[in-house]
Structure 1
């Protein structure tokens, strides 16, 4: 079954438009600024979790106490 040239051109134009939209979306997702902001928000949300936050605070206090103890010995 042969297709007429106008139908083929419309299909090509649709494919071209879809490809352009996909490339734009990939460009946006791969933008370094977007990746950095995503990483920052992920780290912030992880650190706001009490199961992570309080052990880190405890470890920091322990390290500071050990450093102070070593300095004044």
Structure 2
């Protein structure tokens, strides 16, 4: 998180952002009722894939866009190359 950001949506915000921590929790639910049967499953069964997404996402503090950090970094790099 030491790279400059630029919002790819509003294209003006370079300073106001929110970091959203993503904390995955594996659960198993009852297919009829939707009730949680099991939480924080340590040993996932073969058909339950573990979470493979980013640890956090970034939200623009101006327009509210929520995306992966790399999009904000790439937009800032693209803007700097054009100057």
TM-score (norm 1): 0.27
* Larger radius of gyration between Structure 1 and Structure 2: 1
More strand by share: 2
Higher fraction of helix? 1
TM-score, normalising length: structure 2: 0.24
Relative contact order: is structure 1 or structure 2 higher (C-alpha 8 Å, sep ≥ 6)?
2
